[in-house]
Amino acid sequence: MQKPQRLKKGDKIGIIAPASSPNQKALEKSLAFLTALGLEYEFGKTAHSEYGYLSATDDLRKADVEDMFRREDIAGIICACGGYGSARYTDTLDFELIRQNPKIFWGYSDITFLHNAFQRHADLVTFHGPMLGSDIGHDTFLEQSAAQFQQLFTPTALVYDDRFYAGIETVVEGVAHGKIVGGNLSLLASAVGTDYMPLTAGNLLLIEDVDEEPYRVDGMLNQLRMAGVLNEVSGVIIASFSGAEPKKRKKSLILDEVFAHYFASLQVPVVKGVQIGHCQPHFALPLGVNAVLDATNRAITIEAGVQ
């Protein structure tokens, strides 16, 4: 796996919307955060466009991604938001271009599909973290989440435990090693059977999602189970599942019962309640790097994502 070069003050960041169109007021408000980090920025062609539930056509969104990787003056790429649509053009991307121009790529949610594709086909370490229009430009964005961006400037081993957020729980005890892979559960389920499913064998699987009812989470986890994914991982990190309350059905299992059904009997370490994803505070981390999950002592140690 290739680790991108660290950022330095004065570097220019490319801002793109590779899935849906961002909230423009929030995006505009977020720019002060980049300035405070000492970074310059430039908008891609998709940052201010809108095309139905997408930010732009597939061809334009693909071109925006490739252009930001191609340009020598762009040191890193931060996504404006997620939404839907990254998978529509992923199979047409020039992965050799991305491989030859490794740089920081940051986002989450629908961006999961791109994270996994870049790891599989460009050997690139990417970053799962809060986005400009979805998180940073809102009043709910916390300083604790903002501090996560410092890992892009200095190679830093990260530790997630109760000091970041009290609430991590042990589902299955033990210690596991492996690369952290995964992200949004909906995108992972949709990637099963494609060349863009992350390599989960012997690795730590991270899952998160938002506004999915327990029966929907159940169905997606069952898809991973039937595909053999859950039987090959070295450990599982269950991150944020905000808005997961039952809505359509009066009678429902609660989310913890769903997690217990799929994970309690696994013979690998499992934790839940990790503040990664659609939540505040939001712990950001590199994907594709080595990590240690100590489920017994409720801690995750993660290798630095930049060089």
pLDDT tier for residue 248 given thresholds of 50, 70 and 90: confident
pLDDT tens for 212-244 read: 999 999 999 999 999 999 999 999 999 999 999
Give CA separation, 192 vs 130, 195, 210, 224, 248, in Å.
25, 8, 20, 7, 26
Tell me the C-alpha to C-alpha distance, in Å, between residue 182 and each of 23, 106, 192, 254, 298.
26, 14, 12, 23, 19
Catalytic entry in 30, 55, 86, 208: 208
Q: Which among 109, 145, 234, 240 is annotated as catalytic?
A: 109
Q: Mean pLDDT across the stretch 157-163?
A: 97
DSSP 135: I
208 labelled catalytic: yes
* Rounded distance between C-alpha atoms, residue 90 and residue 22, angstroms: 20
> What pLDDT, in 10s, does the model give residues 28-63?
999 999 999 999 999 999 999 999 999 999 999 999
Which of 115, 128, 278, 282 is labelled catalytic? 278
HEC letters along 213-257: CHHHHHHHHHHHHHCCCCCCCCEEEEEEEECCCCCCCCCCCCHHH
- The question of whether 109 is a catalytic residue gets the answer yes
Q: For this structure, is 252 an active site residue?
A: no
Q: What is the pLDDT of residue 89?
A: 98
Per-residue model confidence (pLDDT) at position 282 = 98
CATH numbers and ranges of domains, the chain: 12-141 (3.40.50.10740), 158-302 (3.50.30.60)
Q: Is the pLDDT of residue 98 over 90?
A: yes
- pLDDT, tens only, 190-199: 999 999 999 9
Q: What percent of the chain has pLDDT over 90?
A: 98
